[in-house]
């Protein structure tokens, strides 16, 4: 599903260049539930933005579902994203003057689905996420957990093959974080590939594979027996 070889990415500002990704290799299969960990500034968001076709890379290969992602213009990138990817962010990224239903329906607006139909579908998704009663509330009237459910519903409404989540529990208390992770697990159980960036060990421990970014490459991949040891260790902290 995701195949990356020798990926390089630098940010250039003025005369300075910051080499963030330095020849990274990564393979993620369809249906995986993966977390990407690494210290602040290690390039987690940079990598996720490249995976999500929100940003370019400088060198290397990125294949998404067998298609080489390189040199796309904004329209082509948007088509790829709309067909494949749902995004979830730490800060929810909801539109403040639209209610929960309208926020969830937004991707269908861009697909030119008429208002009545897209709102009905949005209500179904809100129902699935247990917040149908909040459909007509603005984001400012919702708790953090409710806002993230709205964001997840919005991500799911266009039937993505991959969910990319950048610190999805970063703004939530620990109980709500667990609820959001339970939802993401259910999403993954339906066959959708889920990739989460986090710096919280207990969140990473709930995924099925942990990838550590270090010095611009993948430093470590924790899975299977090692993952069980990791979970046991997290539990006793
Ligand atoms: P993480 O998500 O792991 O905290 P990021 O991928 O956001 O790290 O950032 C990696 C490094 O690149 C950081 O040093 C950050 O300051 C820098 N960086 C990120 N985005 C930009 C940008 N648009 N322009 C310049 N530097 C950036
Ligand atoms: Mg980040």
Pocket test for ligand 1, best of 21, 46, 50, 197 (most atoms within 8 A of CB): 46
Q: Which atom in ligand 1 lies closest to the alpha carbon of residue 42?
A: 3
Give the model's pLDDT for residue 158: 93
Q: What range does the domain containing 12 cover?
A: 2-235
pLDDT at position 161, please? Answer: 97
pLDDT value of residue 49: 96
Question: Residue 73 contacts by C-beta under 8 Å, 6 or more apart in sequence?
Answer: none
pLDDT at 48 over 90: yes
Relative to the CA of 47, which ligand 1 atom is closest?
Answer: 6
Indicate which residue's Cα is closest to atom 27 of ligand 1.
11
Global pTM value: 0.96
Please, which residues have CB within 8 angstroms of residue 47's CB and are 6 or more apart in sequence?
Answer: 7, 21, 24, 26, 36, 197, 213
Helix (H, G, I), strand (E, B), or coil: what is residue 117?
Answer: helix
CATH code of residue 137? 3.40.50.300
pLDDT digits (tens, 9 = 90+) for 189-213: 999 999 999 999 999 999 999 999 9
**Pocket lining: 212 vs ligand 1, CB cutoff 6 Å:** no
- Report the percent of the chain where pLDDT is more than 70: 100
- Could you tell me the pLDDT band of residue 235, with boundaries at 50, 70 and 90? confident
- Cβ of residue 49 lying under 6 Å from some atom of ligand 1: no
pLDDT value for 237: 77
The number of domains in the chain is 1
Q: Residue 179 has what pLDDT?
A: 95
Is the distance from the beta carbon of residue 46 to the nearest atom of ligand 1 less than 6 Å?
yes
Give the long-range contacts of residues 54-57, CB within 8 A, separation 24 or more. 54/81, 55/9, 57/7, 57/8, 57/9, 57/21
Smallest CA separation from ligand 1 atom 23, residue: 11
Average pLDDT over residues 40-51: 96
Question: How confident is the model over 94-128, as pLDDT tens digits?
Answer: 999 999 999 999 999 989 999 999 999 999 999 99
Question: Which of 9, 10, 18, 216 maximizes ligand 1 atoms within 8 Å of its Cβ, making it the mutation to test the pocket?
Answer: 18
Sign of the alpha-carbon torsion through 226, 231, 232, 237: positive
| Confidence category of residue 143, pLDDT binned at 50, 70, 90 | very high
């Amino acid at each position: 599903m995701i195949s990356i070889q020798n990926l390089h990415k630098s940010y250039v500002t003025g005369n300075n260049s910051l080499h963030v990704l330095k020849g990274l290799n990564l393979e993620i299969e369809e249906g995986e539930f993966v977390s990407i960990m690494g210290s602040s500034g290690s390039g987690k968001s940079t990598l996720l933005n490249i995976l999500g076709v929100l940003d370019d890379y400088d060198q290397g290969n990125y294949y998404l579902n067998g298609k080489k992602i390189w040199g796309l213009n904004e329209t082509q990138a948007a088509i790829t994203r709309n067909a494949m990817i749902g995004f979830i962010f730490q800060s929810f990224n909801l539109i403040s003057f639209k209610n929960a239903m309208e926020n969830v329906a937004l991707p269908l607006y861009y697909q030119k689905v008429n208002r009545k139909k897209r709102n009905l579908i949005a209500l179904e998704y809100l129902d699935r996420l247990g917040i149908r009663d909040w459909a007509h509330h603005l984001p400012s009237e919702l708790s953090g957990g409710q806002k993230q459910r709205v964001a997840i519903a919005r991500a799911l409404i266009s039937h993505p093959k991959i969910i990319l989540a950048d610190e999805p529990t970063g703004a939530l208390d620990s109980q709500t974080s667990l609820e959001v992770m339970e939802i993401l697990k259910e999403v993954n159980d339906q066959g959708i590939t889920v990739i989460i960036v986090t710096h919280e060990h207990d969140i990473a421990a709930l995924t099925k594979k942990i990838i550590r970014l270090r010095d611009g490459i993948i430093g470590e991949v924790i899975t299977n027996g090692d993952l069980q040891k990791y979970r046991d260790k997290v539990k006793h902290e």
